[in-house]
Amino acid sequence: MRYLYKIFIPVLLFLFAVPGYIRAQERELPFQAGEKAQIIIHYKYGPKMDIGKIDLVLSDKTVSGKPCFNVRADVSTYSFWDNFYKIRDVYESTFTADGMVPVSFLRDVKEGDFWAKNNYTWSNGGKRLHAIVDKKTRPHRDTVYNEKKVIRDVLNLFFACRALDIDKLLSGKVVHQIVAMDKDLLDIKLKYMGKENKKVSGLGTFRAVKIGVSVNSRVVEALSEEERTTFSIAPEKADGQDENVFYGDSKIFLWLSDDENHIPLFFTAPVKVGSINGRLGEHSGLKYPLSSKID
């Protein structure tokens, strides 16, 4: 069970990698302070089992006089699985309420005898990232990244993209985003796959928007525009990517509620051994009614 720590990191990544054109400053935000949501993580390899959860809490925060949002995600295994491989991760992101520009990000990982910490701070409108990374298996790293577009952390991406205009997806255009994780920049490509009714255990059936997600550990500033917008449901495997559990013929899919909340309802992805799913569990404080629910 020691590879579970490699599951939870990409889970957060593609769970929060929702497509769209980020225009939050021009649109009514689909969330509010006080929103809480739980994502239940389910592992399939032989027996099917729920192994852990992600608890998300959104709150208000003021930074240098500017109104911001702060979101905290606590990732943990259930008590039974603690006996095999205990996971207690904390992710915390702060971003501006106007424009969803990232301000800071903290990641504190404790998984078995493994540990890792990320401390990110941004400037230049989110295009310059100062990343300090410490990890049990690697030396201290202090790096500055400069890009022509905003570099996002996984939590900032999640909430910023929920503010998208869902109608923009219908054109079928592939959407590209840059996400920082540990010492790497990740190239995320997303594509609208259609609408369908999705059953979520414990909650019912919902009208949903289905999204395909491609994840590649690549320095995106080296990519051509054509490469950035060419979509493959199977992420490319590049040299040095053996630690990425989502390479190869992976098919990663995400279902969002087809209503004003755009909240993730379900995701699924194969991993090196078996596959994982995630589903929306307990939730409260949504800004709008969950009108996508059918029964």
Pairing verdict, β 102-111 and 175-181: unpaired
Is residue 294 a part of any domain in this protein?
no
Chain segment 31-50, per-residue pLDDT in tens: 889 999 999 998 877 667 89
Tens digits of residue pLDDT in 57-99: 999 999 999 999 999 999 999 999 999 889 999 999 999 998 8
Provide the pLDDT for residue 109: 92
Q: State percent of the chain over pLDDT 90.
A: 43
Residue 65 has what pLDDT?
92
How many structural domains does the chain have?
1
Phi first, then psi: give them for residue 292, nearest 5 degrees: -75, -10
- Residue 37 CA from chain centroid, whole number: 14
| Mean local confidence (pLDDT), 151-179 | 76
Q: Is residue 245 part of a domain?
A: yes
pLDDT in tens, 179-218: 898 888 888 777 788 899 999 999 999 999 888 877 776 5
The predicted model gives 230-259 an average pLDDT of: 54
pTM of the model: 0.81
Domain range spanning residue 156?
4-284
295 falls within a domain: no
293 located within any domain:
no
290 domain residue, yes or no: no
Give pLDDT, residue 19.
36
Q: What pLDDT is stored for residue 202 in this prediction?
A: 93
Closest CA to 154 of 123, 175, 177: 177
For the chain, the residue count is: 295
pLDDT at 22 (0 to 100): 40
Residue 106 forms part of a structural domain:
yes
